[in-house]
A and B are shown apart, each in its own frame.
Chain A
Amino acid sequence: MTATILVTGAGGVGKTTVSAAIAVTAARSGLRTLVLTVDPAKRLASALGTANLGYEPQPHTDEPNLWAAMLDASHSWQSVAVRHAEPEVAERLVNNEFFIAASEHFPASQSYAAADQAVTFVEALAWDLVVVDTPPSAGGIDFFTAPAQMADLVGGKLLRWLTGGPLPGRRFLYTRAGKPILRMADSLLGNDLLERVAEFLLDLRTTYDGVANRGRQIEAVFSTSAILVVTTADPAPVAEASRFFRELPGVASDPIAVLFNRTLPGSWIGARPAGTAHPELAENLRRWGAESLRQTDTRTEFAAVNKARVVAIPWMAHPPTDLDSLEALILNSSEFPFTELAITVAP
């Protein structure tokens, strides 16, 4: 049995670092752990044991329990075509301009590809724990709704809109000239744009059964995964985290905790320096104390409004660059939900 932790949250809050830190802590506690990440910073990638993190999991040279790999959204969308379409259709699809555009831009398609790849590693049963640093689009919600959205996309929802009627067969392409709506569209778009789009959508539709089945398998893994939300105390990511709670996708379980990254020590709030202290340093403490107070207020309010467990992850002035500093990030978080995540750390 492989346990899964899905780490979600807005971009720029240190989600990737926190995911890596959890993986290092779990690996050092004895769990064979794989961390999957979307786009790690160079220094973090090297902390994970390789400067060029690849798409195939590799073990860390100093920590054999820790494995890491990147999720490649654009590449694995092609594999959807290859896996679920007839070979000649797949060939047409991967070279189709709209397929390329859709795989680059349709946010759900990238999330779907990432989820598909992550679930493949969960199914491999080669690890005790898989930690997934999920893509940050739409406050993380996209990742969870992607399987359903993809099934909708390839299932012909677009095609129905395009023709304003029931799902057409390929002969639609030859009779459409009679339809006023399509005549008007042609005059706007030039002659064959709709035809090219329809051709693409008809090809795409042949992948429906495969995509829908796979979507259900992905959702089954989601529903049994532990979810952690990462944020900082800044208003924008906090709003995204709140949105995740408000719009919690049906396929996800309640988040275990919300991790507030870059938290300052509470002991700085209202601390009084000795009378002999240098005025500039006293003022510096006052300002950082005010910042720490603002953070505390934000966490308290978030916990009350969303009925969530909040965990403070300390602000490291220098981002972690090795296994020890990554592990320290978690071990220094006194309220970290080790038990709920079944990570046993020696005292």
Chain B
Amino acid sequence: MLEKRLLVVSGKGGVGKSAVAAGLGQLAARKGKRVLLMDMGNSGGLAAHLGTGPLEFDPREVGNGISAMRIVRSDALLEYLTIQLSLRGLNRFGALARAFDALATAAPAIREIVTMGKVLWEVREQHWDLVIADAPPTGQIGSFLRAPTSISELVPTGRIQRQAAWMTHTLKDPSTTHLILVNLAEELPTTETIQTLGWLEENDLVPPPSVLTNRILDDLQTDPAGDGPILEAAVHHRSVYSEQQEWLENLKPDIKLPFLFGLLTPPEVSARVGEILEGVL
């Protein structure tokens, strides 16, 4: 997985997407890769898991071999227009950028292609060995992955159309791109992940993704006994464990991560996730 050029990490909100993205980045950097971590949204989760202040559009080194940035839509739009579409005279026509921004609200594929385009541009420029995108949640990931195709349908000619073609190709290339869906062994995340897998298979926009199920409990080897808290904690553990097993049956993960007890800070969580992934991958 770390041999790819682009890892896109998605999942239902609250499943630990940013921790997995940050952990993967730290692991790849330990293996000597130059890594760029990109926050495609604005949740601040990635920055927290890297133990750094708010990320900005310009990549900043946040650790040994790891740089990180956040896709700010207005900056990405300007870069898209000036560099990717080689549009000159934007100073004179700053209104064009504003018109595009307006257009992006009515024709949302434009907004998404600007974000997706920035991710794929960083892959194409080859400043990094590995780009890891902390992507929007599964509810929205489809419209991002589909953006190049949507644009082709919406704008059948012109420079945007030609840009969209290489994006579609890069996303589909199994030696370049891999999608990781982070899941929890609970009803709602699992249902949503299964729906997303079905949608992805139907639309054939990226190579087959991996499912990573987070926060899995190990079974207790001893039956609950005693009284008071020790019994309560054992019974609680057993019930959550059996509930999880039911959902693991519904969707068998490619990668499993254990429940991390009592860890305090997001950077500690992502560091642990990185160490565990090293053993799993």
Contact segment of A120-128, A207-215, A230-238 = A230-238
B 153-189 contacts with A by CB, 8 A: 154-161, 184, 186-189
A13 near B262 with CB under 8 A, answer: no
Mask: chain A, 252-282; 1 = CB below 8 Å from B; 0 = not: 0000000000001101100101100110111
- A281 with B105, Cβ < 8 A, contacts A184-B93, A187-B158, A289-B233 known: no
Binding site secondary structure of chain A? helix
A281 near B143 with CB under 8 A, answer: no
Binding site secondary structure of chain B? helix
B44 near A239 with CB under 8 A, answer: yes
Query: Closest residue of chain B to A105, judged by CB?
Result: B108
In the complex, which range does the number of interface residues on chain A fall in? 35 or more
B154 near A193 with CB under 8 A, answer: yes
A102 near B189 with CB under 8 A, answer: no
> What is the bound-complex CA distance between A290 and B238, given in angstroms?
18
B155 near A193 with CB under 8 A, answer: yes
List residues of chain A with CB within 8 A of the CB of B45.
Answer: 235-236, 239
Contact of A290 among B99, B101, B261 (CB under 8 A): B261
List residues of chain A with CB within 8 A of the CB of B262.
Answer: 287, 290-291, 293-294
List residues of chain B with CB within 8 A of the CB of A294.
Answer: 262-264
B 11-47 contacts with A by CB, 8 A: 12-15, 18, 43-45
List residues of chain B with CB within 8 A of the CB of A287.
Answer: 261-262
Say yes or no: is B220 at the interface (Cβ < 8 Å to chain A).
Answer: yes
A 216-236 contacts with B by CB, 8 A: 232, 234-236
| A273 CB → nearest B CB, Å | 4
Say yes or no: is A189 at the interface (Cβ < 8 Å to chain B).
Answer: yes
- A11 with B232, Cβ < 8 A, contacts A189-B158, A290-B262 known: no
Contact segment of A74-82, A86-94, A111-119, A314-322 = A314-322
Size of B's binding interface in residues, CB under 8 A: 68
> What is the bound-complex CA distance between A189 and B45, given in angstroms?
35
Say yes or no: is B280 at the interface (Cβ < 8 Å to chain A).
Answer: no
Say yes or no: is B103 at the interface (Cβ < 8 Å to chain A).
Answer: yes
- A41 with B188, Cβ < 8 A, contacts A12-B15, A188-B87 known: yes
A271 near B44 with CB under 8 A, answer: no
Contact of B220 among A98, A159, A185, A280 (CB under 8 A): A280
Contact segment of B51-59, B70-78, B198-206, B223-231 = B223-231
| A320 CB → nearest B CB, Å | 12
List residues of chain B with CB within 8 A of the CB of A234.
Answer: 14
Say yes or no: is B222 at the interface (Cβ < 8 Å to chain A).
Answer: yes
A318 near B107 with CB under 8 A, answer: no
B239 near A235 with CB under 8 A, answer: no
B155 near A189 with CB under 8 A, answer: yes
Say yes or no: is B221 at the interface (Cβ < 8 Å to chain A).
Answer: yes
- A291 with B261, Cβ < 8 A, contacts A190-B156, A236-B45, A278-B225 known: yes
Query: Closest residue of chain A to B235, judged by CB?
Result: A317
> What is the bound-complex CA distance between A81 and B137, given in angstroms?
29
List residues of chain B with CB within 8 A of the CB of A200.
Answer: 106
B188 near A12 with CB under 8 A, answer: yes
List residues of chain A with CB within 8 A of the CB of B234.
Answer: 281, 284-285
Contact of A164 among B12, B99, B155 (CB under 8 A): B99
B155 near A289 with CB under 8 A, answer: no
> What is the bound-complex CA distance between A106 and B13, given in angstroms?
18
List residues of chain A with CB within 8 A of the CB of B158.
Answer: 187-190
| A324 CB → nearest B CB, Å | 17
List residues of chain B with CB within 8 A of the CB of A106.
Answer: 105, 108
Say yes or no: is A304 at the interface (Cβ < 8 Å to chain B).
Answer: no
| B236 CB → nearest A CB, Å | 5
Query: Closest residue of chain B to A186, judged by CB?
Result: B158
B187 near A237 with CB under 8 A, answer: no
A282 near B230 with CB under 8 A, answer: yes
List residues of chain B with CB within 8 A of the CB of A194.
Answer: 103
B 242-276 contacts with A by CB, 8 A: 243, 261-264, 266, 269
| B215 CB → nearest A CB, Å | 10
9 more A-B residue pairs beyond the given contacts A101-B108, A281-B230, A294-B264, with a C-beta to C-beta distance below 8 A: A158-B103, A164-B99, A189-B160, A190-B157, A234-B14, A235-B45, A267-B228, A285-B234, A294-B262
Ranked 8 nearest A-B pairs via Cβ: A290-B262, A317-B239, A12-B14, A161-B102, A105-B108, A11-B13, A271-B229, A287-B261
What are 6 A-to-B residue pairs whose CB atoms are below 8 Å? A41-B191, A97-B154, A102-B108, A189-B160, A274-B230, A317-B238
